[in-house]
A and B are shown apart, each in its own frame.
Chain A
């Protein structure tokens, strides 16, 4: 194994890792805001990929151009899901954790079923796009363009999120609601609106990731499931609720996955991610940046 091969694989791992971070951040955001794990997060990704696919197929809009549209559509979708379903799961007085888990889990199954019903179980892909299949070579290292753009979008999204949370009124309301929803109500902030906004934001971010994933990944009803577990591990690795833990977690997951693929047969590449997760939580039971 040459140094070249190692650097090549680390570079692609880093790009993929930044995308994993973008996929996972919505999960971390929602958890941090209201202590709810969205078990339909993978299905949100799946829907975003389909939206991107159909915008391309019917309107010939390149996924790169449609990404903001997909994110906006997913924002609305996430907020509606909160208002129509999750809001009621928050009202449970007993077994609240269980109710939330199974409500979002049931939702995941419904969304998968709906995708099968309307879109059939067929694997689809976007055959030709501006970025699809292209690579950039840089000092002898080849970087696939879709992943590269995805990584840049991810960095931009995290930077934007940082600015939003720390510099805007709504971001501060978000932070305040997360610290003490009861006190927030006293100063006239509608908790439900903040939560709906949080769900919208979380879904919008995974929507952004989905739009880019659609360029280089197959699109099918179960596609979310394969990324959901990685997203949970990413969030837990960074520490539940820590938005920037998701960023670091994503990078670690991407790098570890790439390194494992170098050493073990491809079918075992996820073992490395799982092993690193276990190792990290055995040493730090609340993840790398988790505080609660």
Chain B
């Protein structure tokens, strides 16, 4: 089994490198701005979902409040930029660090909770964050922040003329989140997390420090999601609480991983590659009527996929992979 595992890991790395290289070439063929936009969002949600998967999939602590970290990344970056002129690159890292610290601070009381009590606590804390930002005058309250245009440059991470730089950043972030997951899978942490997910009491008795390993997963997961939030804020050039901290982000981070296969290396990427274009296309082609047809189609697909493929789309690939998925 050990050799199989090592071989699978090598193969995963090669497949990822090939996919990343192909994705990097995509802009040569895709000139349409609308399609580029979908590609950027797909990569971003793949990265977010991959990060969410670290805490919720591998470690088994289902969070539906990651919008909080996404919003913190976005707000830290833009508050530092607009109020103090700090470059978004530093703001991004600061946002990640703050999110990680908050995730650990919240983890301290939260990780005592199990199942639905934990899930609801994560939803509720993100809602509190949203309400506080909506009432925080200095941070623009419900009106939000418009990011001033300072001209296209990598230094200021701002591009008005072309979306391609955002595409490459999103691709890099997606690769980073994937690689972190890949690397953690075979680390002490990865094994701890799976043990904590399967049976926390047994793990504890075998010397796994359950609490610390949950904290580690929360910190890594929140950090990466906050980087995504910072990126999204620069990409939109405008933020308000609802558009960076709304509940829909918590869902859109969870759905791809669940769809693709929760707690698997490829699940989030696969899920995002199908779900995000589907969401965007149904919205723009049949959602324009405002009559909810997009919702009907989208919801039906979620139900069908959940019923037909309980282990996620990765289970469609060879049986050995499906086994790896549940391991």
Contacts and interface: CB of A to CB of B under 8 A. Distances in A.
B292 to A, nearest CB: 3
Nearest to A269: B131
Contacts of A103: 302-303, 306-307
Residue of B114, B127, B297, B310 ringed by the most chain A CB atoms within 10 A: B310
Interface string B284-310: 000000111111111111111111001
B124 A110 contact: no
A116 B287 CA distance: 11
Interface in B110-133: 112-117, 120-121, 123-125, 127-128, 131-132
A267 B127 CA distance: 12
Contacts of A112: 292, 295, 299
B116 A240 contact: yes
> Which bracket fits the contact residues of B?
35 or more
Contacts of A274: 124-125, 127-128
B109 A113 contact: no
A94 B326 contact: yes
Given A114-B292, A117-B292, A271-B128, A285 B299 contact: no
A117 B291 contact: yes
A227 to B, nearest CB: 14
B95 to A, nearest CB: 23
Given A93-B310, A98-B310, A278-B124, A116 B290 contact: yes
Contact of B299 (A37, A113, A277, A286): A113
B117 A267 contact: no
Nearest to A107: B303
B135 interface: yes
A37 B305 CA distance: 19
A74 interface: no
A110 B117 contact: no
22 contacts: A85-B303, A95-B311, A95-B312, A96-B310, A99-B310, A102-B255, A106-B302, A108-B299, A110-B296, A112-B292, A113-B292, A113-B297, A116-B290, A117-B293, A121-B290, A232-B120, A233-B124, A267-B131, A268-B135, A274-B125, A281-B121, A282-B109
Given A92-B310, A96-B310, A268-B131, 19 more contacts: A37-B116, A88-B307, A92-B307, A98-B306, A99-B306, A105-B302, A109-B295, A110-B295, A113-B299, A121-B292, A232-B123, A267-B131, A267-B135, A271-B128, A271-B131, A278-B109, A278-B125, A281-B117, A282-B112
